[in-house]
Amino acid sequence: MQNGSSLVTWVENVDVREKEDEMHAILKPFVESSFAFGASRWIATLQRQAERFIYSTGINISPSDTPISQEGRRSLTMTANKMVVSFCNDICNSTYHHWTSSNKTRLKTMEVKTNKRRGDLGKPPGLHRTGGCTVELISSHNRVFDYLSDIQNRPQWERMSSGSSVQALVNITTGPDPRNCISVLAMSNHKDILILQECCTDATGSYVILAPISPDVFQSMLYGIDQEVPLMPFDFSILPNVSGSILDGTLLTMVFQITVKNVSSKQAVEVVTQIFKEALQRIIEAVN
């Protein structure tokens, strides 16, 4: 990759030990293509991180950005980055974070998996139930990303903002593509909750990640005050559905978390499953 006088040479060495039951069939074409772990995806990720650094530090600022102090911009970007890292941890699989199938949707195209966690850093205290679900959509990955990242569409699919108007209190871009941005959203029917959202897209994939924050936390960020903010991200990973070298629709993964209080594990799974079913059906109807 060459940019001006800078030259990056990427050498890749991959050793894969694959078992038939380790990879879900819906993800197999994507992993076997260069989109999952190939050099093109790594280079796109490096490019996006470089752009994010340049824009978040104020070296480049879009004229359309909400005017806030440099300290506020830095604090907002750091908190959004913690949210993204939390999302990546939430969807990983390990001995500690083992996912189990809990498919109660009665839909053959949808399988919900969940795990239980307690005491994770950066999370509210208590027991949490995380649910994840991947579906195939016939619409392009750009169309799905544009729909989910548009805040005016949120009341159509998201339970919390249903019947509400949504506005961006702050919006700062994190790259030359204005769709790559960090926003703080307010809902007219929830005065005590704001939504921190980061959207990121490139040719190899996209994500929309958001988490509730309090108005007090938002005010602290505007003043550049760093603090530990418990985050429970609600996330979408939006990937091109690759069949060989052909782009064919979208692989949409949705991850949702709830804090389990005074309910049984079975009830918690049922709540998460119902949220998936409602949201994904509305998204599918809209983008397809």
Instruction: Say how far apart CA 30 and CA 137 lie, in whole Å.
Output: 14
pLDDT of residue 3: 45
C-alpha to C-alpha distance for 144 and 240, rounded to whole angstroms:
10
Right CATH for 46-287 from 3.30.530.20, 3.30.1450.10, 3.50.50.60, 3.40.50.2300: 3.30.530.20
Segment among 68-72, 154-158, 243-247, 269-273 with least mean pLDDT: 243-247
d(CA 98, CA 76): 32
Reported pTM: 0.85
Please report, for residues 30, 34, 203, 279, the alpha-carbon distance to residue 245 in angstroms, rounded to integers and kept in the order given: 10, 9, 14, 30
Residue 24 has pLDDT above 70, yes or no: yes
Please tell me which of 108-112, 258-262, 266-270, 276-280 the model is most confident about, judged by mean pLDDT: 276-280
Structure tokens at 190: 């929830």
Q: 3-class secondary structure for 12-71?
A: CCCCCCCCHHHCCCCCHHHHHCHHHHCHHHHHHHHHHHHHHHHHHCCCCCCCCCCCCCHH
Taking alpha carbons only, the member of 46, 75, 97, 90 closest to residue 237 is: 90
Cα 208 to Cα 198: distance, rounded to the nearest angstrom:
6
Domain boundaries, the chain: 46-287
Better-scored residue on pLDDT, 256 or 4: 256
